């Protein structure tokens, strides 16, 4: 009975994988309970050849079992959120694209960048991009959106989302606009908490939802719902039938596939997983969800695809473990769920029918990578801001100290390690990337974040000896907002500051400092910074 339910549910779920090759258990599960698709993360990527092989094997297994092309997707937005960087490089952040066009006074770089990135992904068997981000970063203290957004105002974001979708559609890759109805005005991270938007539904309709309207009109294939709570709603948007049914499908007229954000995120499950959430519901303890079944609530809200970032074996095991706890809901799974399937399954299957297949069943999407557009964007954004900020700077050479600082998590991304490596290499250093077993992060000090005042622990990674007077370069790797006192505490003792992923910091630092702003972390930004420093 349980297997029958999982078999009925699997065409509406997307799962992750454990590592860079399929395990025997994953092969068994993907064949027995073929999901709608698989999502790749940095943990699944070694290089281009490996990614192609993995995508091809996954595609073949699911196609053999289901007769449909699976959705092979990834969060490869640009900047720090570029999970396929080891295989296809790191595009500039969305915010840097619009800023570069503004500084140059002409459009086109946005479309060229999105097309280049999409073709790189397709060449490796990735047929769906979870982009563009359609959020308006109207709250400068937002800890999770920032440079992932195109801009801080509605009109430029609306225009950019429309252009991005049209450019991506030219390549044949499937698209997803996120995070509906808008994550840009929150001060919380839905990976960690349930953020309150601080806006009512009417206020969201007037501003934050407009870029989604543009994306829908341009032909976005899917819309990702957000684990955020509008001020006048009791449920997260991803669980709210009114937001999905009345607003997204009704007001915006979207008739495509609605996909959830990750269902492991604390914004929806308080970090306890599906089983923990179900137990909490039955006991009345500590879970955000009020109805008697987590999966049922997500489905009844109107989501077509349930996204899980964890490996398939964990996801299927947890669903199987949870279902017996919900005996009162068996009628739902045998009766009402069929009505949901009748609506969602055709939409998902139609989407999969348009997906480009990897492997033996696919077409040759070979693509010769070119970094030209990535480098051009970063040179314009970093160069214009940097040259103005570096007037009268002292001579920089391979002995000038460079210190990277941020929270511990900021150093855990491959994109961050690559940025550090390139900046060191192109400024004459040979120490390599960090952190490594030989070069550990050094505790710096404890500060606090704005608004919540929650503790933040800062770490540093130093190259070269510093003198007593202000000298050297501080590279701020963090993207979480800082209070002004902490910003200037970090900057103290340096004459040059590089601001990467939280550009608003450049307005808050002591104006006597020389400041370079990159509007995101990527390889081409590291090269642009190195070029400015080295003259």
> Is residue 285 predicted with pLDDT exceeding 60?
no
Mean pLDDT of 148-161: 97
pLDDT, position 270:
47
Banded pLDDT at 275 (limits 50, 70, 90): very low
Mean pLDDT of 333-348: 92
Residues 472 and 480: their CA atoms lie apart, in Å, by 23
E strands, 335-494, where? 402-407, 442-448, 455-463, 473-476
Domains of the chain, first to last: 12-358 (3.20.20.300), 372-534 (no CATH)
E strands, 323-452, where? 402-407, 442-448
Residues 228 and 191: their CA atoms lie apart, in Å, by 10
> Is residue 423 predicted with pLDDT exceeding 60?
yes
Mean pLDDT of 177-205: 75
Q: Which residue has the higher pLDDT, 504 or 324?
A: 504
> Is residue 360 predicted with pLDDT exceeding 50?
no
Residue pLDDT, tens place only, 464-512 = 877 666 789 999 999 888 888 888 888 888 989 999 998 888 888 876 7
> Is residue 192 predicted with pLDDT exceeding 60?
no
Percentage, residues of the chain above pLDDT 70: 84
pLDDT, position 174:
98
Residues 77 and 351: their CA atoms lie apart, in Å, by 21
Rg of the chain (C-alpha set): 23
Mean pLDDT of 41-65: 97
E strands, 103-199, where? 128-129, 176-180
Mean pLDDT of 283-287: 38
Mean pLDDT of 217-231: 93
pLDDT, position 524:
97
The average confidence (pLDDT) of the chain is: 86
Q: 403 near 461, Cβ under 8 Å?
A: yes
């Amino acid at each position: 009975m349980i297997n029958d339910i999982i078999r009925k549910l699997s065409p509406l779920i997307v799962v992750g994988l454990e590592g860079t090759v399929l395990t025997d258990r994953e092969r068994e599960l993907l064949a027995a309970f073929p999901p709608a698709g698989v999502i790749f993360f940095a943990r699944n990527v070694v290089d281009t050849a490996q990614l192609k092989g993995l995508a091809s094997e996954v595609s073949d297994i699911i196609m053999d079992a289901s007769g449909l092309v699976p959705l092979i997707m990834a969060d490869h937005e640009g900047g720090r959120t570029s999970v396929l960087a080891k295989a296809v490089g790191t595009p500039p952040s969305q915010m840097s694209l619009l800023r570069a066009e503004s500084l140059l006074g002409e459009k086109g770089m946005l479309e060229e960048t999105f097309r280049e990135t999409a073709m790189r992904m397709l060449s490796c068997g990735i047929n769906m991009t979870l982009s563009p981000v359609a959020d308006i970063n109207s709250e400068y203290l937002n800890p999770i959106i920032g440079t992932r957004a195109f801009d801080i105002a509605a009109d430029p974001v609306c225009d950019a989302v429309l252009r991005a979708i049209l450019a991506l559609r030219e390549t044949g890759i499937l698209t997803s606009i996120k995070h509906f109805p808008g994550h840009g005005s929150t001060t919380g991270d839905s990976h960690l908490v349930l953020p309150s938007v601080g806006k009512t539904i009417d206020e969201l309709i007037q501003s934050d939802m407009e870029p989604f309207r543009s994306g829908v009109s341009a032909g976005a294939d899917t819309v990702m719902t957000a684990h955020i709570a509008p001020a006048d709603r009791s449920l997260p948007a991803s669980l709210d039938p009114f937001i999905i049914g009345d607003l997204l499908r009704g007001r915006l007229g979207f008739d495509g596939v609605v996909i959830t954000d990750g269902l492991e995120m604390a914004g929806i499950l308080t970090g306890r997983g599906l089983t923990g959430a179900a137990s909490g519901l039955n006991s009345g303890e500590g879970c955000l969800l009020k109805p008697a079944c987590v999966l049922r609530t997500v489905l009844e809200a109107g989501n077509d695809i349930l996204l899980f970032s964890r490996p398939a074996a964990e996801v299927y095991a947890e669903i199987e473990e949870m279902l017996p706890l919900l005996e009162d809901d068996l009628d739902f799974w045998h009766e009402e769920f069929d009505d949901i399937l009748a609506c969602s399954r055709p939409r998902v299957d139609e989407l999969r029918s348009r997906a480009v297949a990897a492997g033996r069943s696919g077409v040759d999407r070979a693509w010769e990578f070119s970094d030209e557009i990535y480098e051009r964007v970063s040179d314009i954004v970093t160069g214009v801001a940097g040259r103005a900020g570096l007037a009268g700077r002292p001579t920089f050479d391979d002995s000038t100290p460079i210190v990277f600082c941020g929270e511990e998590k900021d150093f855990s991304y491959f994109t961050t390690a690559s940025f550090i490596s390139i900046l060191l290499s192109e400024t004459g250093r040979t120490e390599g990337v960090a952190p490594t077993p030989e070069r550990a992060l050094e505790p710096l000090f404890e500060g606090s974040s704005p608004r919540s005042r929650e503790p933040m622990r800062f770490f540093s990674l130093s190259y070269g000896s510093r003198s007593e007077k202000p000298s050297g370069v501080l590279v701020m790797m963090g993207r979480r907002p800082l209070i002004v006192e902490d910003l200037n505490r970090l900057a103290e003792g340096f004459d040059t500051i590089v601001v990467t992923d939280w550009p608003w910091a450049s307005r808050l630092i002591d104006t006597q400092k020389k400041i370079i702003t990159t509007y995101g972390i990527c390889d081409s930004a590291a090269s642009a910074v190195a070029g400015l420093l080295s003259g």
